[in-house]
Amino acid sequence: MSTELERTVPVTEEAELERLVGDRALSTDDHKNAPAFVVRPDAVQDVLFDLRDEAGFDHLSCVTAQQYEDRYETIYHLKKYDDPTQEVSVVVPTSTDEPVSQTAEPVYRSADWGEREAFDLVGIDYEGHPDPRRILLPETWQGHPLDLSYDQDKPQLVTLAEHANPLQEDHRDAETDTMFLNIGPHHPATHGVLHVKTVLDGETVADVEPDIGYLHRCEEQMCEQGTYRHQIMPYPDRWDYTANMPNEWAYARAAEDLADLEVPDYAQVLRTMGCELSRMAGHFLALGTFALDVFGDFTAIFQYAFRDRELAQDILEDLTGQRMMYNYFRLGGVAWDVPEPREEFFEKTRDFLDGLPTKVEEYDDLLTGNEVFQIRCVDTGILEPEIAKQYGCTGPVARGSGIDYDLRRDDPYGYYPELEWDVVTEDGKDNYSRVLVRMQEVEQSAKIVEQCIDLLEEWPEDDREIQSNVPRTLKPDPGTETYKAVENAKGELGIYIRADGTDTPGRFKIRSPCFHNLSTLAEMSQGEYVPDLVASLGSLDVILGEVDR
């Protein structure tokens, strides 16, 4: 297996962790994925600094907040970029009367947005947070929707006087000669409804602040109201709606870990193939829309990218019956086998894969080999790897900055460990590198799909089990908690589930890679020109459906 990561990172044993946290731990907890330490609200930074600097947990993957009957709780899910199988959770309980907890922002920059979301949706205050505002909901929102005492039926009436229109404020300032510019929420280059508050000095970007939440659809809450077995699986398709299938795996992986479900090998191959086809479709779209941002019009390259995405979608349609919202995964397997006649399906997929090298050449000619494209993209939107890690960047964005991090290899799942493929990284750290990474990942995905097709073709007919035995109603033990992530087209998509003994999750938290990737926009584009800001935004390939959830 060429894909096995050489584990040079020392494994931090649990005993070592216990020594490190010491008596700052009130108690320990056992999450299914990692050991968890319960610490006092005023020791958060202390503990996190030690875990980061002494034990090497440099990746704050996710901040989960939730409310119990007797307390609020913030969970910091920590990982190591060099070995994401090493995990530890830091649980911070706070009282119901006064939910105040120390901020983790000085330790991990990614806690900035993470804690803002926790405050917004659950209502925990973070002491010392540099920017304690709502992030997904409007400033005028009353209450915190995931708070147990929140009354969903109470209408959110905002009087006209109170109603703040962020676009209407007068930002004129006699002292400075900068200009405030709203890019979005409706703008050709924001790839959805994103509002970027920009301060310009001439054409130079002085400051950028992404304002998100326009596409917030309460996905977490909806998942909490659905039953594990069938009602949750359709939702993941709606997060990253350009490369949908890997999202389903995120939920499947977390739920299967929670309930200890087995998945037959044959289903794993089907899952792997479907996800990689979906990843290709997503990357084609990313390449096309990035070209749209840089070329400036719906030009040839955009249409070529869509043509190729279409081919991948056709195959997925044959496989799942759907073009976008596949709903193909089931807990413990997949919905159905490849369509009959099987040969036809395999042939169609092979045709697509065989045609790919010529198309990649086309992309090289029109896109990456184009000199004008190069002067636009090389050395613009620089994202230093240290900064990327601070913000919790993953996926092609991290790999474009030279961070060798891919959960398919580093935290293996599915059939990936059995297949021959490589993790693509580029060292340019710029917009161009991120494009190169996606281009090469398309080829790697094709390689994986090809191997899956071979496997499926030769699979003995009496062993084609697509679904393991799963109880009709799934009720994981109360108090079981897990956090599991997969590599979707944009990066690390993690799901935290806490079971409460019923057939629906007690808490369902989505860790969105786009959410974290987008938070680096300011770092990337300050001091550059407006066109570079647009290109950087395009190269991050954010899908607002996943950012806002």
Partner 1 sequence: MTGPVPLQSDGETYLLPERIADLTGLGEFGIAGESIAALLGAALVGTLMLTMTAVAGPWAKRKITAAFTDRIAVNRIGPFGLFIIVADAVRLISKELIVPENADRPAYDLAPIVVAGSAMLGFAVIPMGSGIQLADPEVGVVYLFAVSGIASIGLVMAGYASANKYSLMGGLRAVAQNVAYEIPLVVTGMSVVIFAGTLQLSEIVAVQAEPLIELGGVALPSWYAFVNPFAFGLFIAANLAEVGRNPFDTPEAPTEIVAGYQTEYSSVYFVLIYLGEFLHIFLGGAIIATLFLGGPAGPGPAALGIVWYIVKIWAVFLLTQWFRSALPRVRIDQLIEIGWKGMLVLSFANLVLTAILVGAIA
Where along the sequence are the contacts to partner 1 (CB under 8 A)? 179, 181, 187-189, 203, 291-300, 302-304, 307, 366, 370, 372-373, 375-376, 529-532, 534
- Min dist. Cβ of residue 112 to partner 1 (A): 28
Sheet holding 59-67, edge to edge: 25-30, 35-39, 87-95, 71-79, 59-67
- Min dist. Cβ of residue 187 to partner 1 (A): 6
Q: Is 479 left (phi over 0), alpha (psi -120 to 50) or beta?
A: left
- Min dist. Cβ of residue 57 to partner 1 (A): 39
- Min dist. Cβ of residue 415 to partner 1 (A): 35
- Min dist. Cβ of residue 172 to partner 1 (A): 11
Q: E strand or H helix at 29, and its extent? A: strand 25-30
- What is the Cα–Cα distance from 135 to 195, expressed in whole angstroms? 12
- What is the Cα–Cα distance from 359 to 363, expressed in whole angstroms? 6
The residue written with tokens 């161009």 in the block is 432
Q: What is the residue-wise DSSP string for 132-189?
A: ---SSS-TT--S-TTSTT--TTS-----TTT---TTT-----SS---EEEEE-SS-TT
- Min dist. Cβ of residue 302 to partner 1 (A): 8
- For the chain, what is the radius of gyration of the CA atoms? 23
- What is the Cα–Cα distance from 529 to 505, expressed in whole angstroms? 46
- Min dist. Cβ of residue 63 to partner 1 (A): 33
With respect to partner 1, which residue has the nearer C-beta, 45 or 182?
Answer: 182
With respect to partner 1, which residue has the nearer C-beta, 164 or 181?
Answer: 181
Q: What amino acid is encoded at 473 in this protein? A: T
With respect to partner 1, which residue has the nearer C-beta, 138 or 531?
Answer: 531
With respect to partner 1, which residue has the nearer C-beta, 296 or 501?
Answer: 296
- Min dist. Cβ of residue 534 to partner 1 (A): 5
With respect to partner 1, which residue has the nearer C-beta, 10 or 202?
Answer: 202
With respect to partner 1, which residue has the nearer C-beta, 206 or 530?
Answer: 530
With respect to partner 1, which residue has the nearer C-beta, 368 or 468?
Answer: 368
With respect to partner 1, which residue has the nearer C-beta, 285 or 424?
Answer: 285
- What is the Cα–Cα distance from 343 to 526, expressed in whole angstroms? 53
- What is the Cα–Cα distance from 329 to 239, expressed in whole angstroms? 15
With respect to partner 1, which residue has the nearer C-beta, 27 or 303?
Answer: 303
Distances (CA, A) of 436 to 110, 305, 374, 401, 431: 26, 15, 11, 11, 9
- What is the Cα–Cα distance from 32 to 14, expressed in whole angstroms? 14
> Coil, helix or strand for 441?
helix
Distances (CA, A) of 199 to 113, 194, 210, 324, 521: 20, 16, 12, 37, 13
- Min dist. Cβ of residue 51 to partner 1 (A): 42
The distance between the two most distant Cα atoms of the chain, rounded to a whole number of Å, is 78
